[in-house]
Chain A
Amino acid sequence: MAKKSNDWRDLYTKKTEDEPALPDGPILFYNELVIEHFTNPRNVGEMPGADGYALVGDPSCGDQMKLWIKVEEGRISDIKFKSYGCPGAIATSSMATVLALGKTLAEAKKLTDDDVVLALGGIPENKRHCSLMGINALLSAIQDYEKNQERQNSG
């Protein structure tokens, strides 16, 4: 990774057409940004009275994530998570919450695991599956929120 920046986005956005956002060739190891998210994960915690909640993953397979969201005026105004898993799982959980925070529900639903990987500057190929956990948790938490809304509206 070249230079330090206060905003992670600066590091991985395409500067020119020629410059790839992800490194060429197979990615063998975690990069510094992944390690940084692993050692200092963002938005860790629990959220009593959350608007939406999800539990995904399987601890016997090595990963599990709990995710809570608060929704205000159609936007994700707060997000918290707890994850059990490998460094790839923890870093991608963290990045998924960073990407989702502040987005409208419609925007958040469009997020994919590729967005998480890109935002992290790539993760090793054999860890690609880890990035699904954060996104799956986010989508199920939104679903949970929408179900809660329906229930309230009909009730």
Chain B
Amino acid sequence: MIYLDHNATTCLHPEVFRVMEPFLKEQFGNASSSYRLGREAKIALENSRKEVAECIGAKSHEIIFTSGGTESDNCAIRGIARNLRAKGNHIITSRIEHHAVLKTCEDLEKEGFRVTYLPVNAQGQVDPDDVRRHIGQETILISIMFANNETGVIQPVPEIGAIAGEEEIVFHTDAVQAVGKIPVHVDTLGVNLLSISGHKCHGPKGVGALYVREGTPLVPVVTGGHHEHHLRAGTENVPGIVGFAAALSIATRDLRTVSQKISQLRQRFEATIMSKIDGVQVNGMNAPRVPNTSNMSFHFVEGESILLHLDLKGIYASTGSACSTGLPEPSHVLMAMGVPARIAQGTIRFSLGKDNTDDEIEFVMESLMEIIAKLREISSLKEA
């Protein structure tokens, strides 16, 4: 098996599993219980909070644990929108956000909010000046992602953060695809809220965090008990949180060496594919990108067909656009970048991880050449 879908999810780091194991077995206490078993869970929880905070340069009490990236995005956007409604009803986001942000904003539109979906340039980047231009009296929230999940393109978050700071508007960034791949320090970003996911950096699924800068006017979306500074009710997922913190620490510790190795692999991969196969484009190639992601469009062939051929060879990747409803539904990210629909349909996202090797990439490149040639032979778009 060659796994090249690390933006979808990652395997659990063995060290992370070891750290989690006691909390799945004998250390099962509820962190809110006052007896010893509970206190031990509470200590583990607070140590994890400190660990996560340190990884992104935050203070412990600025971290709230959630069930993952989607919940963090929901908590941030809905929590601000609801609380600041009296002040204004305008939200600025972009067309290339993850659905966790897009669908949440669409939902808020039904409740009377006005949402601006900013365009991106051909390389997939939001223009900070565009953010500034759209800010009005009514604007209460800006939500722009850190790194795009499909293309890996890094957005100008510090520049947008500076604008948000000047205008005193709450700024949220979905950093699910950035944390663990590139350095993320909240102090340099000017963000109020930042979403993180555990399973994207070799932690467990079902756990994540929301960084909430001190003084951010957030109200809870999930209500109930007094957990997580009253910002997210529900018994804490202690094993998950402990594993998430360990995974993030390891990823942060190894970030420099891993990202260097992965960038070299990607560089070789992209250079070889582009020289050996005609009619290939790497989307967002000229923008700054996280080092692991390569979004490739192969002309004259359809993405899911490439994917199944790769699958039959034991290679796992993903496609942004899936033909599933009979409606034209290519990736919203590539559409926003102005990639023509028929080219967007032939797109594969390869996302590398720390364990991928030279030999694996070699095999993937050979397989791709064979697969693309085979599909083009039967393609009605490719002239014989």
Chain A interface (Cβ within 8 Å of chain B)? 30, 35, 38-39, 41, 44, 46, 55, 57-66, 81-90, 126-127, 129-130
Contact = CB atoms under 8 A, between A and B. Distances in A.
B304 A84 contact: no
Q: Please name the 9 residue pairs, one residue from A and one from B, whose CB atoms are nearest each other, closest first.
A: A60-B341, A129-B326, A61-B328, A62-B323, A82-B380, A59-B342, A86-B304, A126-B324, A66-B380
B312 A84 contact: no
Given A58-B328, A62-B302, A90-B305, A83 B321 contact: no
A60 B304 contact: no
A89 B301 CA distance: 12
A84 B341 contact: no
B378 A90 contact: yes
Task: Tell me the interface secondary structure of chain B in the complex.
Answer: loop
A102 B377 CA distance: 25
Contacts of B1: none
Contacts, number: 78
Q: Which of B300, B322, B378 has its CB near the most chain A CB atoms (within 10 A)?
A: B378
Interface string B266-277: 000000000000
A46 B304 CA distance: 24
B373 interface: no
Contacts of A89: 302, 323
Given A84-B301, A90-B378, A61 B327 contact: yes
B369 interface: no
Given A83-B378, A84-B302, A87-B308, A60 B342 contact: yes
Contacts of B377: 44
Nearest to A44: B378
Interface in B305-328: 305, 308-309, 312, 321-328
Given A46-B384, A62-B345, A86 B328 contact: no
Contact of A63 (B312, B322, B323): B323
B381 interface: yes
A38 B378 CA distance: 10
B31 to A, nearest CB: 39
Interface of B: 300-302, 304-305, 308-309, 312, 321-328, 330, 340-342, 345, 377-382, 384
Task: Tell me the interface secondary structure of chain A in the complex.
Answer: mixed
Contact of B345 (A59, A65, A130): A59
Given A30-B308, A85-B305, A41 B327 contact: no
Contacts of A88: 323
A87 B305 contact: yes
A60 B340 contact: yes
Contacts of A130: 323
Q: Which of A39, A57, A83, A89 has its CB near the most chain B CB atoms (within 10 A)?
A: A83
25 contacts: A30-B308, A38-B305, A39-B312, A44-B377, A59-B345, A60-B330, A60-B341, A60-B345, A61-B326, A61-B327, A62-B302, A62-B321, A62-B323, A62-B328, A64-B380, A83-B378, A83-B380, A84-B381, A86-B302, A86-B305, A87-B304, A90-B378, A127-B324, A129-B326, A130-B323
Contacts of B328: 58, 60-62
Given A82-B379, A84-B379, A87-B304, A35 B312 contact: yes
Nearest to A57: B380
Nearest to A61: B328
A83 B379 contact: yes
A89 B326 CA distance: 11
Given A44-B378, A62-B345, A85 B384 contact: no
Given A60-B345, A62-B328, A41 B378 contact: yes
Nearest to A129: B326
A27 B225 CA distance: 42
Contacts of B309: 39
Given A61-B323, A62-B328, 17 more contacts: A35-B312, A38-B308, A59-B345, A59-B381, A60-B340, A60-B345, A62-B330, A66-B380, A84-B300, A84-B380, A84-B382, A87-B304, A89-B302, A89-B323, A90-B305, A127-B324, A129-B326
Contacts of A44: 377-378
Nearest to B304: A86
Contacts of A63: 302, 323
A34 to B, nearest CB: 10
